[in-house]
């Protein structure tokens, strides 16, 4: 798949996820293979424009991640344009506009998925960002705000006309959050509606069979994986291998999962802008998703949730390897 002139190969991408897709996790997914594109956590355009340290610290990428996208959110076209210039000047390969986040602290400001209620303003935001930067601009959307306002198709057409180079569609409405099932038909509709740009499908892909079905049912150009990658950064490698060869790789053993969890923790502490305590607090939940307990036990997970330092994590995980 091409996003403008950037080749995304394999056509499997990591979804932006707040609190998860920091530099360490993005790099881990890339290092394990199979992931053609990674994306930062969502970053406030307002805070970038104000040059706030909390926002600029999220420009934590490195050349080893390439290609990668920096995702911005906001509803003011001028502020979004300025933030996009800052991110592009800092080396982002792609500027991604968040129009999919439904959490109240974003949506109440008219940003994220709330923009899908106002296609005119959403298109103005896109056009301003496209004019501001030389790198490709993409956008991630939901099906719409709710079941009565499925605006993804209308917006995708407008976004393409405004110069967007790819659209990613999470096939749930904003009001659904992560509840219910993703309705992949909206991805098919968006793909049919645009003329020249790739469409990336997202929602309820947990394995190679799901990815294969999404490609077949929707005609999408790439598949984006989010929650299914948490605690399973090897998912891209496994899906890519099965799609290309027809054969599944064996699932990682408990020892292999523990080794990857430890690698994740060490990489985080080596690259984070957070203090050790803050980083470990984030890691507790992230590492708990590696399913390191024996069946029927939660002892390892509970002990991870009590970790205060990297040394605590190492003391817990090294004996499992």
Query: In this predicted structure, what is the pLDDT of residue 138?
Result: 99
Query: In this predicted structure, what is the pLDDT of residue 100?
Result: 93
Whether the Cβ atoms of residue 94 and residue 6 lie closer than 8 Å to each other? yes
Q: Name which of 156, 153, 152 is nearest 143 in CA terms.
A: 152
Boundary (domain end) residue, out of 220, 245, 270: 245
**Which residues of the chain register pLDDT less than 50?**
none
Neighbours of 133 (CB within 10 A): 18
Could you tell me if 226 and 268 lie in one domain? no
Could you tell me if 267 and 154 lie in one domain? no
Could you tell me if 264 and 138 lie in one domain? no
Tell me: the pLDDT tens digits for 39-71? 999 999 999 999 998 899 889 899 999 999 999
Q: Which residues are catalytic?
A: 101
Could you tell me if 175 and 206 lie in one domain? yes
Could you tell me if 231 and 117 lie in one domain? yes
Whether the Cβ atoms of residue 164 and residue 138 lie closer than 8 Å to each other? yes
- Residue 144 and residue 130: Cα distance in Å, rounded? 22
Query: In this predicted structure, what is the pLDDT of residue 293?
Result: 87
- pTM of this prediction? 0.95
DSSP assignment of 47-102 equals HHHTT-HHHHTT----GGG-SEEEEEE-S-HHHHHHHHHHHHHTT-SEEEEEE---
Query: In this predicted structure, what is the pLDDT of residue 151?
Result: 95
Could you tell me if 138 and 69 lie in one domain? yes
Whether the Cβ atoms of residue 96 and residue 165 lie closer than 8 Å to each other? no
- Count: domains in the chain: 2
Tell me: the pLDDT tens digits for 114-123? 999 999 999 9
Boundary (domain end) residue, out of 196, 227, 245: 245
Query: In this predicted structure, what is the pLDDT of residue 60?
Result: 87
Please report, for the domain that includes residue 172, its CATH number: 3.20.20.70
Query: In this predicted structure, what is the pLDDT of residue 199?
Result: 99
Query: In this predicted structure, what is the pLDDT of residue 186?
Result: 98
Domain of 271, in residue numbers: 254-320
Query: In this predicted structure, what is the pLDDT of residue 297?
Result: 84
Could you tell me if 280 and 222 lie in one domain? no
Could you tell me if 299 and 211 lie in one domain? no
DSSP assignment of 220-270 equals -SEEEE-GGGTT-TTHHHHHHHHHHHS-PPPPPPHHHHHHHHHHHHHHHHH
Could you tell me if 120 and 160 lie in one domain? yes
- Residue 13 and residue 276: Cα distance in Å, rounded? 29
Could you tell me if 206 and 232 lie in one domain? yes
Boundary (domain end) residue, out of 219, 245, 271: 245
Could you tell me if 174 and 28 lie in one domain? yes
Query: In this predicted structure, what is the pLDDT of residue 110?
Result: 92
- Residue 199 and residue 148: Cα distance in Å, rounded? 23
Could you tell me if 70 and 194 lie in one domain? yes
């Amino acid at each position: 798949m091409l996003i403008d002139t950037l080749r995304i190969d394999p056509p499997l991408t990591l979804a932006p996820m707040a609190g998860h897709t920091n530099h360490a996790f993005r790099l881990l997914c890339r290092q394990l293979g199979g992931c053609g594109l990674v994306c930062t956590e969502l970053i406030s355009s307002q805070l970038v424009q104000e040059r706030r340290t909390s926002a600029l610290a999220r420009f934590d990428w490195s050349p080893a991640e390439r290609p990668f996208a920096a995702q911005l959110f906001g509803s003011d076209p001028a502020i979004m344009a300025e933030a996009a210039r800052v991110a592009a000047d800092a080396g982002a390969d792609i500027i991604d506009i968040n129009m999919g986040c439904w959490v109240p602290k974003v949506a109440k400001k008219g940003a994220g998925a709330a923009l899908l209620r106002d296609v005119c303003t959403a298109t103005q935001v896109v056009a301003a960002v496209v004019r501001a930067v030389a790198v490709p601009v993409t956008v991630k959307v939901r099906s719409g705000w709710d079941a009565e306002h499925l605006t993804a198709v209308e917006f995708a057409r407008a976004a393409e006309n405004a110069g967007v180079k790819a659209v990613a569609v999470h096939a749930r409405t904003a009001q659904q959050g992560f509840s219910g099932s993703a309705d992949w038909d909206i991805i098919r509709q968006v793909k049919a509606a645009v003329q020249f740009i790739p469409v990336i499908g997202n929602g309820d892909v947990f394995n190679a069979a799901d990815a294969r079905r999404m490609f077949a049912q929707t005609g999408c150009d790439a598949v984006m994986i989010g929650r299914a990658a948490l605690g399973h950064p090897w998912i891209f490698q496994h899906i890519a291998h099965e799609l290309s060869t027809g054969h599944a790789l064996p699932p990682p053993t408990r020892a292999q999962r523990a080794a990857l969890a430890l690698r994740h923790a060490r990489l985080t502490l080596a690259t984070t802008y957070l203090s050790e305590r803050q980083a470990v607090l984030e890691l507790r939940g992230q590492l708990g998703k590696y399913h390191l307990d024996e069946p029927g036990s939660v002892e390892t997970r509970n002990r991870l949730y009590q970790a205060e330092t990297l040394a605590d994590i190492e003391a817990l995980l090294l004996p499992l390897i």
